[in-house]
A = this chain, B = another copy of it.
Amino acid sequence: MTTTAIDYQTEPPRYRHWRLAFDGDVAYLIMDVDQAGGMGDYELKLNSYDLGVDIELNDAVQRLRFEHPEVRAVVIQSGKDNVFCAGANIRMLGKSTHQQKVNFCKFTNETRLAIEDASENSKQTYICAVNGNAAGGGYELALAADYIMLVDDRRSTVALPETPLLAVLPGTGGLTRVTDKRKVRRDRADVFCSVEEGVRGAKAVEWRLVDEVVPNSKWKDTVAARAHEIAARSDRPKDAKGIKLNAIQRKIDTDRVTYSHVEVEIDRTRGLATVTVRGPSEDVPASVEAAHELGDRFWPLTVARELEDAILHLRSNEREIGVILFRTDGNAQAVLAHDKFLAKANGDWLMREIRHYLKRVLKRVDVTAKSFIALIEPGSCFAGTLAELAFAADRSLMLIGTREGDNRKAAAITLGQANFGFYPMGNGLTRLQTRFLGEPELLDTLKGKIGEAIEGEDAAELGLVTMSYEDFDWDDELRVMLEERTSFSPDAMTGMEANLRFAGPETMETKIFGRLTAWQNWIFQRPNAIGEQGALKLYGSGVSPTFVKERV
């Protein structure tokens, strides 16, 4: 896999692997991978994919929600004959470093969850029309859809052959979705995950692996009919007009990435990056129509896009950065005014999309393997939506009052209604609910303080920040903390954070990022998969792998 910087931004005219087609309220998202279009030295045969293919898929899923509100059902299908998708490209996996494999799986998992989020929360429902073999990641892509159709041509199957073929797990939520979404009986799941050739026809329905099999002769018509039926059930507005997601404003320098409202400063010597998010520079729009008019220049949407790109960039391209500092800069009341605007206009499809998008961006923070520390200083605007950055952080530090020689407003956290339900985490709870799992009564107290600037020791006493320091202690305390944090084993930090961030209930989503991902990461280090005699290394070479037989 390439080591040049990975860019998560793209747009349909640049797609090499996907096509979009529209038929009224139904969109067709057609996978037609360009064999020569991989990011590294391998061929993307049989509609297999690498990160580049998934970056386009992620972009398409995102644009369908914002640019095509008229779409009520999305059909994913293959543009190739006889193959739906062969899953993640094995040569790519074989050549990837551990970090690349893990980050690849994380991003593809997020994309699958974004598909489910669109079905559930935008009623832009995904259907997967499996026209050809769907193996591994190919079937996992289908599993992300709400409805799976399989062509009955006596040949096409769905399969999760990773375990028998490659000695790894299906890495994109497959096992969890088989047991918890499709609710396949565990012994059948065991058989299914052990047979290379997969399952087809009526048995695939009986085993709950797909929802419907359709004879070849009726395939096209039945897929279209099903898509229109499902589209008809959607509550989406009939007359909505999409907004354009223009290229984000971004300038990448050696130690800095500059967006319009987000700035990333990178200090590689210390292993630190600082992400500063700026509050709104303009008043809330006069009306919902005016907000639509602003389109991607509407502050909450701008910030969501820029923050997302910054996080993805740091994950992939700044691998030795272990700690990210969150800073904000601006007017707290202006942030709250935007939140209020979003809440009031929640019946509007675009405002709803923006909230769900912000939710997804914050979830990306939750599963990012970096330590996050929020620095709440004079002039900052940790309010409402932006206060979630402090609650998503592993720790937050607040400066008590103001700084000498600095006449900006005292450091404060300002709660808003956004903190009480806009942005549930993967565990289904808000960040404040998760934070105060042991003191749920505190949530009512905090609700009573919506709109108040909660400063210094008050914020610490209410449990909203981890520590608060006077100006004269601030620099030293911060320096010591950061030196300590960056001296710890990066792996131990990753494991610790993955456990401490998700108190309370587990969901399919937290299972995927917790149990499943952790086991996969474990296997991704084992000689039986990645050693010279391992299955991932030897796949396609004609030589069979040799396994260490010990059971761990």
Chain B residues, Cβ within 8 Å of A319: 550-551
Please report A residues at the B interface, Cβ cutoff 8 Å: 98-99, 102-103, 162-164, 166-169, 175-176, 178-180, 182-191, 193-194, 208, 271, 319-322, 369-370, 393-396, 434-439, 463, 465-466, 484-485, 488-506, 510-511, 514-516, 518-523, 525-526, 528-529, 535, 545, 547-552
Minimum CB–CB distance from A326 to chain B (whole Å) comes to: 13
A369: nearest chain-B partner, CB-CB: B551
B179 contacts A321, C-beta separation under 8 Å = no
B186 contacts A501, C-beta separation under 8 Å = yes
Chain B residues, Cβ within 8 Å of A522: 491, 495, 518, 521-522, 525
A184: nearest chain-B partner, CB-CB: B438
Chain B residues, Cβ within 8 Å of A526: 489, 491, 525
Chain B residues, Cβ within 8 Å of A191: 395, 466
Which residue in B499, B516, B545, B547 is a CB contact (below 8 Å) of A169? B499
A187 contacts B394, C-beta separation under 8 Å = yes
B491 contacts A438, C-beta separation under 8 Å = no
B500 contacts A164, C-beta separation under 8 Å = no
B514 contacts A550, C-beta separation under 8 Å = no
Chain B residues, Cβ within 8 Å of A369: 551-552
B499 contacts A175, C-beta separation under 8 Å = yes
B499 contacts A163, C-beta separation under 8 Å = no
Chain B residues, Cβ within 8 Å of A491: 167, 522-523, 526, 528-529, 552
A549 contacts B271, C-beta separation under 8 Å = yes
Chain B residues, Cβ within 8 Å of A185: 435-436, 438, 463
- The docked-state distance in angstroms from the alpha carbon of A512 to that of B118 is 32
Chain B residues, Cβ within 8 Å of A552: 98-99, 102-103, 369, 490-491, 494, 521
- The docked-state distance in angstroms from the alpha carbon of A263 to that of B493 is 45
A169 contacts B496, C-beta separation under 8 Å = yes
Which residue in B163, B189, B370 is a CB contact (below 8 Å) of A488? B163
Chain B residues, Cβ within 8 Å of A396: 187
Minimum CB–CB distance from A275 to chain B (whole Å) comes to: 15
A163 contacts B551, C-beta separation under 8 Å = no
**Most chain B C-beta atoms within 10 Å of own C-beta, residue among A98, A498, A505:** A498
- The docked-state distance in angstroms from the alpha carbon of A271 to that of B549 is 8
- The docked-state distance in angstroms from the alpha carbon of A167 to that of B314 is 23
